[in-house]
Structure 1
Amino acid sequence: MKKTGVRIVLVLLILSGISFSSLKKSFDTKQNVVFIDSMMNNALEKGFFPGAQIIVGSKDSVFIVKNYGYQDCFKKQKVKTEDVYDLASMSKVLGATLVAMRLAGEDKISLEDKLGDVVPFYKNTTIANLTLFELLTHTTGLKSGITFYKSLLSTPDGSPLLSDRKSADYPDLFDNMYVNKHIVYDTKYLSFEPKDNYVRIYKNMWLNPEFYTSVDEQIAVANTNPRGQYLYSDLNLILVQQMVEAKTGLKLDRLAKAIYNELGISKIGYNPLQWTSLQNVIPTELDNLFRKDTIRGYVHDEAAAILGGVSGNAGLFANAQSISVICQMLLNNGKYNGKQILKAKVVAAFTKSPLAKKGIYRGLGFDKRKPDEFYQKNDFGHTGFTGTFFFMNPDNNRFLIILTNRVNPARTNRLMYKDDFCPKIWKQMNK
């Protein structure tokens, strides 16, 4: 009778679709909270970042929601759940890629669409034949990025903007270099007061939109590497933005917001001061070079700043709770609250590694890794320069979101990367 009972249980498990592996991988919330608390307390003590938001969940549950530390290095205001972080390159997937997925599912854009056919400016350039697929997989051959903003800066005597040595003329540190104190701005393009048709790029800076022609011209000749090889590039997602905007006639922020509205999330978007208060925006870096200020309420990434805070490569701000809804939607094959937000076949296609046989472990927009001690074959997600991270495992339907501002007060703080901070937590959450 005992054997018969065991067989019945086995049959019921099989019929219900529950595997032994999933039973073994039940989430031990108490144990994992202890682990995360230990990791976070150690990170805060060592100065990895001022504070953080963390959420761990599954496709239909949230196991852990915690805030740690302070909004910035001055440690005056503790991190709150409603605070939003600058997501940096997580914007690539949570903004431009999500929009591309939606349009692909509606047959409004194709992965085989060519840049020059969609965006007229590039029609007669050497990058005209780049496809949306190549842009999303970072196989275009475009260089990793362009510091567009530096052409807006100069010095009266032609001396360098930056020096590797501190001196009377180079007193302030930016990254690992010192800034010339005599820098002047190009008034042909930059204004420190509002002007008609100018684009606001910082709280006291407006840009002449004529500058964007030079941006596109620089991108058009940025294919300096072999096409077909993998090279992660901000330029790729800036071009994805241009393609989706050309296809729809709508701006990226509006296209993305339509998806967020359907998901019922409101603590996510571009240019956060348009939808939340300054006190709820986590500060990032003290920028001694371009904006001469600690960045708060405006995007940290300079390329996205030049584009008015709305860019395919960066610009999104969000709290962890809003991102958790997107994770659940993706783990549920594009469905959330009974509504199909994205087509299931599109989610499957974008989150696989179509070029794995070539040794390119990348999804369409999404970051994927060669399987190792931290990452499994089907994991997907993305990270951000400001200290942000989110990954999902569709095999056990887990997700992890870690939002930090490790660049406050300076981007030179890379302690969290040397310690494999986020990958270690991700590995633990998948046990």
Structure 2
Amino acid sequence: MKNRTAKIVFAFLILVGISGYAQKNSKKSFDVKQNEVYIDSMMTNALEKRFFPGAQVIVGSNDAVFISKNYGFQDYSKKEPVTNDDVYDLASMSKVLGATFVTMRLVGEDKIKVTDKLGDSVPFFKSTPIADLTLFELLTHTSGLKASITFYQSLLSTPDGSPLLSNHKSADYPELFDTMYVNKNIIYDSNYLSFSPKENWIQVYKKMWLNPEFQKTVYEQIAHANVNQRGKYVYSDLNLLLVKEMIEAKTGKKLDQLTKEIYTELGISKIGYNPLKWTSIENVAPTELDNFFRKDTIRGYVHDEAAAIFGGVSGNAGLFANSQSISIICQMLLNEGKFQGKQILKAKVVKEFIQSPLAKEGIYRGLGFDKRKPDEFFRANDFGHTGFTGTFFFMNPDNNIFIVILTNRVNPTRTNRLMYKDDFMAKIWKQINK
């Protein structure tokens, strides 16, 4: 009898132990079946309505993956189903997973401070109107710089000086680009663009090389890009172009090298800039049919034009990845900078960057990270980022949950904004972030 009682007690203790471990190491309220059915339904509807041709989705916690699925095809020809190995152009998700990521590492190593000023770090900007901008202002988009500048358009002209784009389709403006029509007689500036390789010139597309002198004109434009709204929130690609300059000046290394060092520590290889250097073109989801600048369906090269003129390595865009690689980064962040026993980022730095330091001023933004004013879709401690090409990742440390959704909604054209009108990504996030 004593032996039987002892066995029952022992079995009970094991059961309690297992239950306690499961509650500690998984998201207690996450219903995998229910959420998978919901995501499947949303994806089926999105594919039917042509929000995008295909997608990758991963949902998990700091130590587990609950759902990992692929949907649809790489494009509307439906010849190549989406696979785990496919990588997507992350667009502005690169702001976090590239330049911000490196900044966090450098802050943790005391190699850079968020109070550092642009002009003190990068000699080019020392005597410019933006010399006093701090790294904090750039990361929180409170620098006052304008949202963007279409630098590449100064590389284009027409023989008679007529506009590059028109609101109306005609014989002279036959091809659509976004919501405008493109002049059929566009000329490329031969001083800065070449369609054959030149020594020290930068490859910006398949058979397109850029004179690096053009980049100086880009920085000159940024230096005078209006800081009258300094202190107010204006989301700007220019901010992260400058963050890249600061971290490269501080370290003497290029952004792609710095990111690769961290990715290698994490053991992820399907993430990086210029994907044709590390994967096959067959595993890169195509983006837009660009009738304006590159005259081609873009595949294997960055979609964003500003990132293109920096050779595909930029602070604002340029990264390609599959959802699995990003999921590991999410787990590391939810685990306060640690992954598989390695402290990739300092815990105090992760905490600092994912907060909303300016929330009292009505600015819901982390350092680099996207945060939202709490509403029906987002909670106060949610953080992540989105991308113009149709990408999304968000986390909630309170619920210990993350989601990664990668699509190429800009294929074949960026005019397709159906997923935004339907709050598609936000609805899925709301469902799993209960």
Please indicate the TM-score interval, normalised by the length of the shorter structure: over 0.9
Residue pair 1:135, 1:236 contacting (<8 A) in 2 also: yes
Alpha-carbon offset, residue 73 of structure 1: 1.9
Q: Which residue of 1 aligns with 2:284?
A: 281
Question: Which residue pairs with 2:254 in the alignment?
Answer: 251
More displaced stretch, 243-252 vs 216-225: 216-225
Equivalent residue in structure 2 for 1:378, among 381, 384, 398: 381
Aligned to 2:203: 200
Tell whether the 8 Å contact from 1:71 to 1:282 is kept in structure 2 after alignment.
Answer: yes
Flag structure 1 segments of 5+ consecutive residues without an equivalent: 1-8
Three-state SS of the structure 1 residue aligned to 2:79 is coil
Q: How far apart are the structure 2 equivalents of 1:365 and 1:114?
A: 17
Q: Deviations over 1:203-246 (max 9, x none)?
A: 11000001111001000001244110000000000000000000
Aligned residue among 418, 422, 429 for 1:419? 422
**Which residue among 399, 402, 408 is the counterpart of 1:399?**
402
1:28 maps to 2:19 = no
| Cα pair 2:27 2:399 within 8 Å, conserved | no
Alignment RMSD: 1.8
Residue 26 of structure 1: how far off its partner (Å): 2.2
Cα deviations by residue, 1:128-180 (Å, 9 ceiling, x for unpaired): 00000000000000000110100000000000000000000000000000000
CA distance in 2: counterparts of 1:197 and 1:23, whole angstroms: 52
Q: What is residue 140 of structure 2 aligned with on the other side?
A: 137
CA distance in 2 between counterparts of 1:23 and 1:215 reads 48
- Structure 1: how far apart are the matches of 2:56 and 2:21? 34
Query: Which AA in structure 2 matches 1:134?
Result: E
Which runs of structure 2 are paired with 1:2-401 in the superposition (5 Å)? 25-401=28-404
Distance 2:277 2:21 in 1: 46
Letter of the 1:222 counterpart: A
Which letter maps to 1:52?
Answer: A
Distance (Å, rounded) in 1 between the aligned partners of 2:400 and 2:309? 38
Aligned to 1:6: none
Matched with 1:428 is 431
Residues 24 and 314 of structure 1: CA distance in aligned 2, closer, same or farther (over 3 Å):
closer
TM-score (norm 1): 0.95
**2: distance between equivalents of 1:309 and 1:23?**
38
Q: How many residues align?
A: 420
* Counterparts of 1:18 and 1:406, CA distance in 2: 38
Whole-angstrom CA distance in 1 between matches of 2:328 and 2:23: 25
Question: Which residue does 1:4 correspond to in 2?
Answer: none
Question: Could you tell me how far apart the structure 1 residues matched to 2:226 and 2:100 are?
Answer: 22
Contact 2:27 2:61 in 1 (8 A): no
Q: CA deviation at 1:40?
A: 0.2
One-letter amino acid of the counterpart of residue 106, structure 1: E
Verify the 8 A CA contact 2:47 2:53 in the aligned structure 1. Answer: yes
Q: Which deviations, in whole Å up to 9, do the C-alpha atoms of 1:275-322 show, x marking residues without a partner?
A: 000000000000000000000000000000000000000000000000
8 Å contact 1:140–1:223 — kept in the other structure? no
The 8 Å contact of residues 143 and 227 in structure 2, kept in 1 or not, is answered as no
1: CA distance, partners of 2:76 / 2:149: 29
Residues in 2 aligned to 1:150 and 1:17: alpha-carbon distance in whole angstroms: 58
What percentage of residue pairs aligned between the two structures are identical? 76
Cα distance in structure 1, aligned partners of 2:67 and 2:237: 32
1:410 counterpart (407, 413, 417): 413
Partners of 1:292 and 1:23 lie apart in 2 by: 48
Alignment partners' CA distance in 2, 1:300 and 1:137: 24
Q: Distance in 2 between matches of 1:320 and 1:422?
A: 15
- Residues 68, 79 of structure 1: 8 Å contact kept: yes
For residues 165 and 270 of structure 2, the distance between their equivalents in structure 1, rounded to whole angstroms, comes to 37
Q: Which runs of 5+ in 2 are unaligned?
A: 1-12
Alpha-carbon distance between aligned partners in 2 of 1:18 and 1:298, rounded to the nearest angstrom: 43
Q: Distance in 2 between matches of 1:375 and 1:310?
A: 31
